[in-house]
Amino acid sequence: MHTLVLTKGVPDFREGKVSFDENGHLERGKTPTVMNPNDAHALQAALQTRVRHDGRVSVMSMGPPGYKEVLQEAMASAYADDLYLVSDREMAAADTWATAITLSAAIEELGVPDLVFAGFKTADGETGHTGPQTCWCLDMPMITHAVALDVDEKAGRVRARRLVEGDIAEVETVETDLPAFVVVDPEFEPSYRTARDRLTLKQLRATARERAESYEDVLTVWDHADVNVDPDYIGLDGSPTIVSSVDPIPKPPAEREATMVDPANEAEMRAVLDAMRPFASDAAAAGGD
Amino acid sequence: MTEHEHYEAVVVGAGPGGAAAAATLARYGIETLVLERGVEAGSKNVSGGLIYAEQSAPVTVDDLFPDFREEAAERPVTRYYLHNVAGDRVETFDLGRLHDHDTEWADAVLRRKMDSWLESQVHEMTSETGGGLLTGIRANGLLRGDDGEIRGVTTDELDPIEADVVIAADGVASELARDAGLMDWEDPGQWFQGVKAVVDMPAETINDRFALSEDEGAAHLFSGDLFSDVRGGGFLYTNRDSLSVGTVFHLDSLVAEEAEPHQLLDALLTHPLLAQWIGEDYREREYAAKLVPDSKKVALREPHAGRLLVVGDAAGQMQAQGPIIKGMNHAVTAGALAAEAYAQAKGRGKPDRAGRLYAKKLREEGVMDKLRPRGYDLVRTVGERDDVTEVVDSLLTSRLGRLGVRALGGNLERLYGSPRLAAIVPDTRTPYVTLPTVIAEELGTRVTETSRVEPPSLEERIGELTYDTDVGNPHIVLVDDSYEASGAAITACPVSAKGFGGGCYREELVRTNGHEERLVSLDTQPCVECGTCAVVADTEWHHPSGGKGVVFDEG
Ligand SMILES: Cc1cc2nc3c(=O)[nH]c(=O)nc-3n(C[C@H](O)[C@H](O)[C@H](O)COP(=O)(O)OP(=O)(O)OC[C@H]3O[C@@H](n4cnc5c(N)ncnc54)[C@H](O)[C@@H]3O)c2cc1C
Ligand code: SF4
């Protein structure tokens, strides 16, 4: 069983940690980077898969070299075996779409795993798009808002309980073939129902921190050439999102306007698809081989 | 039956009994899983507590865990006194002889520290033979096959687990022993209730006030009229940098006197005799309580049923030898003997004989004789008759009796120091209250200190405790809320009191059709899981799920 967790570093938004320049821009260099809090749940899902089905856990992130520590943190909490940082100056300022293209290319470079886990939304961009977009690029079945997971290795299936519309009150059970892409909800609860699984978990936890100290031994850093993406499609140049201005209000984390589209409304959906189409064909080309 | 996860041995409970059983099983190379409901072993446990290593015991805790005294214990007990109290008159006996009898060593312990150390040792040992120790898992019953035979255990947190042998070391309110039909929780006369405060005190102050060096410790016992007529006594033990001060009372007596356990503890803490040790700067670290079985009445002669072997408090193996309380040491011995019995029975190809072999070992190693001394039953039939107690007590308090006590004088100390007598003292008012009171009145000297100790209120005590409440899932349910059935818990519960709204049990006056009815209500939030209301009230009593409920830091 091979699982991959996509994780991301975000500025530490806790009181007193964030730094802005005089123009109100976030000073990333002066603001410490921490793991996107929601990714902790994706790591828990990967750890559960590792404990219950054995095998390998990889963690991947895209971002500046400073994200290494985020990967170390991830390694400790999911008992990961190998870490990948996709890092390139060309990729700076990528939006979720460009990130998704790059990540999907990197995943293909890695070899598509049985399960890919992503956290629900990041604390800085707060769009919740990167996961689904990456999944789309990989053409995998996707389960979102997963709160519980069960993998049937023999049958090659994954079953999940998920929140319908992200609402705690409504839970449904869905099933799909592996490989699959799972966006893990903050309400996710790992489940260990046998003593053997609990003992394995206890043993992993006991050594995880110490093991993660030598994370650099298992870390691979890739640039755009390593993952075969055209620099034109990534980074700021490849990012269709234009940020006009961001208010310097660190708490709550920056919010962007979201337009809710009713998927049943033919006209609205068409408008969205039309807007996306040019990038979609590029994505296929970028992530293709 | 459906396929279940299987371990050769499952041990439920990681107190001294479970730790000894698991360590012994691992030594025999047996695959052993240990399940403990606390977040950490010791977080649910309370003792006085002095752990004894008896010379006559086949196994002591340091046999199994050689670093025990160094790593898990507080101070060795090098002084041992009994104070007979009547008002402010006190006659002190040096009971060193009773304490030393059959004693290799005896150390004061705090259970969180002791049990969590044992936990790490046991996890390491059992991991080596394919098992391990899990915390936060509560066994909620026995797994039975279609034929009704015991096959393993069921828990709140995990799927059912099968085992070739199950060792129940789940303490005083053992749900497994009850499930097997070996124990019931009916008769308050079979139990004691222990209540304890851990008092903060720097090591140097302890050395100073008790005239001790770093590696010496003192034990002080108290009996007489300081607890009114409630049968029981008090203790004070020195730890490294704290004191354990507590009381142990017969539960039936607590109920009969409608006594409030926390007030009895306060009566001890604020007695002028203790002023010399506690001083003015009283700081209570923790308030705790637990039931204690009286082995003389409940120790199971055949503590097994099918694959289930029961050890320690769960099997009633808690010996009150006069003022000396021996539960932990017997739990260790029994745990080791049960494990040995299984290993040997299996070696002979007859694992189903393990239970009987275990019971035989308890007899042959002399453990059963300590738990249920032969003389006691005789003493009991004569000495525990109410009319006999009346006569003896009025004789003792008469001029003649008092003269006798005076005449005995120093010899009384020797009589009190007799281990044989201590083992069989009748369970009546006489040895607990009347005799010590007369001794103090006739022979005692007046204490001149005054106490400045102000113990915290019950509300403050509860407020200082840590709880992880299982909201919406109370572990105790009142079956009969009439005052007649369950009213006794209002006073007997160590975290409830008459007229106190912040405890577990409360009295409610309900008006129905013009007449008033006295009812009892229950809120389990402040519960310290002592087990008292399992016996004195009509409840459906369970422990909270793994990790939930009260968390003791000291124990
Ligand atoms: C105030 C007081 C003073 C005492 N003084 C002394 C003394 O000075 N000397 C002495 O030797 N003894 C003393 N005792 C008695 C002593 O504490 C007990 O006899 C001893 O702890 C018994 O050990 P045990 O291993 O049988 O049970 P315990 O120590 O009670 O251990 C039982 C374990 O099982 C766990 N458990 C319970 N139910 C479950 C479940 N369903 N699933 C999973 N785990 C479970 C508990 O969390 C606990 O860790 C005293 C007791 C009290 C209350
Ligand atoms: S509610 Fe029952 S078990 Fe809980 S502390 Fe009170 S008497 Fe003990």
Q: Which of B381, B307, B17, B371 is nearest to B145 (CA)?
A: B307
- B326 CB near ligand 1 (under 6 Å): yes
The residue in chain A having the minimum alpha-carbon distance to the alpha carbon of residue B153 is A195
Q: Which residues on B lie below 8 Å from A194 (Cβ)?
A: 5, 158-159
DSSP class of residue B457 equals P
ipTM of this complex: 0.92
| Closest ligand, as measured to the CA of B287 | 1
Atom of ligand 2 nearest to the CA of B530: 8
Q: Which of A28, A42, A115, A120 is nearest to A74 (CA)?
A: A42
Query: For position B323, what pLDDT does the model report?
Result: 85
Q: Over range A31-46, report the average pLDDT.
A: 91
Between CA B343 and CA B150 the distance in angstroms is 19
Between CA B129 and CA B31 the distance in angstroms is 5
* Best mutation site among B11, B35, B45, B329 for ligand 1 pocket (most ligand atoms within 8 Å of CB): B45
pLDDT-derived band at B503 (thresholds 50, 70, 90) equals very high
Pairing outcome for strands B139-144 and A9-11: unpaired
How many CB atoms lie under 10 A from the CB of residue B79? Answer: 17
Spell out the domain ranges in chain A. 2-233
Extended beta strands in B229-388, E state: 232-238, 242-250, 284-293, 304-305, 308-310, 319-321, 324-326
- CA A56 to each of CA A44, A80, A81, B136, B365: distance values in angstroms, whole numbers, following the listed order: 14, 7, 6, 28, 53
Query: For position B416, what pLDDT does the model report?
Result: 87
List phi, psi (to 5°) of B495.
-115, 25
Greater confidence, B400 or A155?
A: A155
Q: Do B122 and B129 contact (CB within 8 A), yes or no?
A: no
Q: Over range B453-458, report the average pLDDT.
A: 97
Q: Which residues on B lie below 8 Å from A196 (Cβ)?
A: 5
List phi, psi (to 5°) of A228.
60, 50
pLDDT, tens digit (0-9, with 9 covering 90-100), for B405-447: 888 888 888 888 888 888 888 888 899 999 999 999 999 999 9
| Closest ligand, as measured to the CA of B185 | 2
pLDDT-derived band at B283 (thresholds 50, 70, 90) equals very high
How many CB atoms lie under 10 A from the CB of residue B54? Answer: 20
Structure tokens given for B475:
């572990």
pLDDT-derived band at B347 (thresholds 50, 70, 90) equals very high
- Three-state secondary structure string covering chain A: CEEEEEECEEECCCCCCCCECCCCCECCCCCCEEECCCHHHHHHHHHHHHHHHCCEEEEEEECCHHHHHHHHHHHHHHCCCEEEEECCHHHCCCCHHHHHHHHHHHHHHHCCCCEEEEECCCCCCCCCCHHHHHHHHHCCCEEEEEEEEEEECCCCEEEEEEEHHHCCCCEEEEEEECCEEEEECCCCCCCCCCHHHHHHHHHHHHHHHHHHCCHHHHEEEECCCCCCCCHHHCCCCCCCCCCCCCCCCCCCCCCCCCCCCCCCCHHHHHHHHHHHHHHHHHHHHHHCC
Between CA B416 and CA B425 the distance in angstroms is 10
Average pLDDT taken over every residue of chain A: 83
- With a cut of 70, say whether residue B492 has pLDDT above it: yes
pLDDT-derived band at A132 (thresholds 50, 70, 90) equals confident
Query: For position A235, what pLDDT does the model report?
Result: 61
Q: With left for phi above 0 and alpha for psi between -120 and 50, is residue B355 left, alpha or beta?
A: alpha
Q: Over range B169-189, report the average pLDDT.
A: 97
pTM, two decimals, is 0.91
- With a cut of 80, say whether residue B2 has pLDDT above it: no
Measure A211 CA to ligand 1 centroid, in angstroms: 37
Query: For position A288, what pLDDT does the model report?
Result: 37
Closest CB to A194: pick one of B5, B127, B132: B5
The residue in chain A having the minimum alpha-carbon distance to the alpha carbon of residue B36 is A195
Query: For position A32, what pLDDT does the model report?
Result: 82
Q: What is the dihedral of CA B379, B380, B383, B385, to 10 degrees?
A: -160
Q: Do B440 and B89 contact (CB within 8 A), yes or no?
A: yes
pLDDT, tens digit (0-9, with 9 covering 90-100), for A236-288: 566 666 555 554 444 444 445 556 677 678 887 787 777 776 665 544 444 43
Q: What type of residue sits at position B427?
A: D
Q: Which of B106, B114, B105 is nearest to B19 (CA)?
A: B114
Q: Measured at the alpha carbon of residue A145, what is the angle toward residues A139 and A146, in degrees to the nearest 5?
A: 90
Query: For position A249, what pLDDT does the model report?
Result: 43
pLDDT-derived band at B56 (thresholds 50, 70, 90) equals very high
Atom of ligand 2 nearest to the CA of B489: 7
- With a cut of 80, say whether residue B145 has pLDDT above it: yes
Measure B306 CA to ligand 1 centroid, in angstroms: 24
The residue in chain B having the minimum alpha-carbon distance to the alpha carbon of residue A192 is B158
Q: Over range B529-553, report the average pLDDT.
A: 98
List phi, psi (to 5°) of B351.
-60, -25
Q: Measured at the alpha carbon of residue B98, what is the angle toward residues B237 and B234, in degrees to the nearest 5?
A: 35
Query: For position A93, what pLDDT does the model report?
Result: 63
Q: Which of B94, B552, B69, B118 is nearest to B335 (CA)?
A: B118
DSSP class of residue B453 equals -
Q: Over range B453-481, report the average pLDDT.
A: 97
- CA B250 to each of CA A37, A131, A132: distance values in angstroms, whole numbers, following the listed order: 54, 65, 66
- B318 CB near ligand 1 (under 6 Å): yes
Pairing outcome for strands B515-522 and B505-512: antiparallel
pLDDT, tens digit (0-9, with 9 covering 90-100), for B215-262: 999 999 999 999 989 999 999 999 999 999 999 999 999 999 999 999
Q: Do A146 and A116 contact (CB within 8 A), yes or no?
A: no
Query: For position A17, what pLDDT does the model report?
Result: 72
Please give the share of chain B, as a percent, with pLDDT higher than 70. Answer: 100
Residue owning tokens 């049937």: A152
The distance of B475 to chain A (nearest Cα, Å) reads 22
Between CA A131 and CA A143 the distance in angstroms is 11
Atom of ligand 1 nearest to the CA of B16: 25
Structure tokens given for B84:
């007979």
Q: Do A66 and A35 contact (CB within 8 A), yes or no?
A: no
Which residues, at least 6 apart from B238, have a Cβ–Cβ distance to it below 8 Å? B74, B75, B108, B206, B210, B212, B217, B218, B219
Q: Identify the residue whose C-alpha is closest to ligand 1 atom 37.
A: B170
pLDDT-derived band at B4 (thresholds 50, 70, 90) equals very high
Quote the longest CA-to-CA distance of chain B.
Answer: 74
pLDDT, tens digit (0-9, with 9 covering 90-100), for A89-119: 777 666 777 888 889 999 999 999 999 999 9
Structure tokens given for B177:
């022993």
Average pLDDT taken over every residue of chain B: 95
Ordered domains of chain B (ranges, CATH): 5-74+109-183+300-371 (3.50.50.60), 76-107+185-294+375-464 (3.30.9), 469-550 (3.30.70)
B132 in A contact zone (CB under 8 Å): yes
Cα-to-chain-centroid distance, residue A256: 19
pLDDT, tens digit (0-9, with 9 covering 90-100), for B320-343: 988 899 999 999 999 999 999 999
- With a cut of 60, say whether residue A206 has pLDDT above it: yes
Measure B530 CA to ligand 2 centroid, in angstroms: 5
Pocket of ligand 2 (CB under 6 A): B 476, 489, 493-496, 504, 527-533
Query: Looking at chain B from residue 384 to 423, which residues have their Cβ under 8 Å from any Cβ of chain A?
Result: none
* Best mutation site among B117, B170, B183 for ligand 1 pocket (most ligand atoms within 8 Å of CB): B170
Atom of ligand 1 nearest to the CA of B193: 53
How many CB atoms lie under 10 A from the CB of residue B109? Answer: 29
Greater confidence, B418 or B161?
A: B161
How many CB atoms lie under 10 A from the CB of residue B345? Answer: 19
Is A195 close to B127, i.e. CB distance below 8 A? no
- With a cut of 60, say whether residue A289 has pLDDT above it: no
- B335 CB near ligand 1 (under 6 Å): no
pLDDT, tens digit (0-9, with 9 covering 90-100), for A137-195: 899 999 999 999 999 999 999 999 999 887 778 899 999 999 999 999 999 999 999 99
Q: What type of residue sits at position B60?
A: T
Between CA B353 and CA B349 the distance in angstroms is 9
Overall CATH class of domain A2-233: alpha beta
Q: Which of B474, B518, B521 is nearest to B493 (CA)?
A: B521
Three-class DSSP category at B493: coil
